[in-house]
Amino acid sequence: MASLSKKVVLMFLLILTVSVLVLVESCVAPVIMPTNPNPAPEIVSIVIHNDPMWRPPEYSTNSYTGEVTETVPGHWAWNGSIVVTIKNRPFTPYVDEKGNHINVYYSFFFQARNLNKPWSDYDRPILAVYQSDSDFTVVTFTYGAYAKPDIGLISASGGDLVYFHVQAVTGYFEPYFWVCEGVGSEWTDFTITMPVSDKPGTSTVKPPSTTRPGTTSTSDNHNNNSQQNPTPYNLLIILVSVCIIAILLLIIVYLLYSRQRKTKPTIVDGESSYVMNTNG
């Protein structure tokens, strides 16, 4: 029984160790920067659609007097979108030897208000989009009261500067666990100023004329390493997954121990046999 218990514990530790290694490996996002990377993404247009939404006033009624009072005055809610159009380069998608669907995708990093945080501190893109089948890929970001986080939310205020850092990667990404793999291009950097007007309108931003890495003080040669460290977000996934695996394995160990305790050896006519221990 002691030998069996040791085997169960060793099996538990082995499975747990392998699971952690597999999870860590799956949560690492290696993007390789070759010595001579492909040119940076070509931004052909940047258009800001400022579309404030009217919010009617809100009222409350006094339950005793019936008096109606305006609690929130009517106002225009800041709202809009930023549409970035990128010129695609010819590429034929394919499936690699591991079964991954390889294509070109664009990794977007951006930050508002200041340049105090270097780009190298970002361990995964804020938004990743596969290039379209046409000549251009259109990427939309939203801001304001009616922004859509699943598209590309920009948390900024009117008049803020927002700095963008964009790369084309030949590879694949997994949006649920943010596994990003592939070979990266040079970087394109551009800056926009968020609109402050409460009136609808469309404005254009001049696309960057130069596209080379390190065009802003925050570039820091992001992703120059062949493999990145696991992100805090991915470490949380690892921790939760390991806890689930550990709980399941502990249940299995408990069931095995319970089964062993319910069975004890006894001697009948000089021969070894097993009978059930009904006392537990």
| Higher-confidence position of 231 and 54 | 54
Q: How far is residue 229's CA from residue 122's CA, in Å, rounded to a whole number?
A: 11
Average pLDDT over residues 219-245: 49
What's the confidence (pLDDT) of residue 85? 96
What's the confidence (pLDDT) of residue 5? 57
**pLDDT tens by residue, 6-62:** 555 556 555 555 554 454 444 445 788 899 999 999 999 999 999 998 889 999 998
Closest CA to 180 of 31, 47, 52, 36: 31
| Most confident of the following: 69-83, 102-116, 258-272 | 69-83
What's the confidence (pLDDT) of residue 196? 86
State the number of CA atoms in the 13 A half-sphere of 36 facing the CB: 0
Pair of tokens at residue 134 = 């046409």
- Per-residue pLDDT band at 276 (split at 50, 70, 90): very low
Domain ranges of the chain: 2-24+235-276, 31-228
Q: How far is residue 259's CA from residue 254's CA, in Å, rounded to a whole number?
A: 9
DSSP string, 200-229: -EEEEEPPPS---TT-STT-TTTT-SSSPP
Average pLDDT over residues 76-82: 89
**pLDDT tens by residue, 135-194:** 999 999 999 877 777 677 888 888 888 999 999 999 998 876 667 889 999 999 999 999
Q: What percent of the chain has pLDDT over 70?
A: 65
Cα separations in angstroms, 273 against 3, 4, 263, 276: 19, 18, 10, 10
Pair of tokens at residue 152 = 């590309």
pLDDT at 247 over 70: yes
What's the confidence (pLDDT) of residue 238? 56
Arithmetic mean of pLDDT over the chain: 76
| Higher-confidence position of 68 and 262 | 68
Burial of 188 (0-12, 13-18, 19+ CB in 10 A): buried
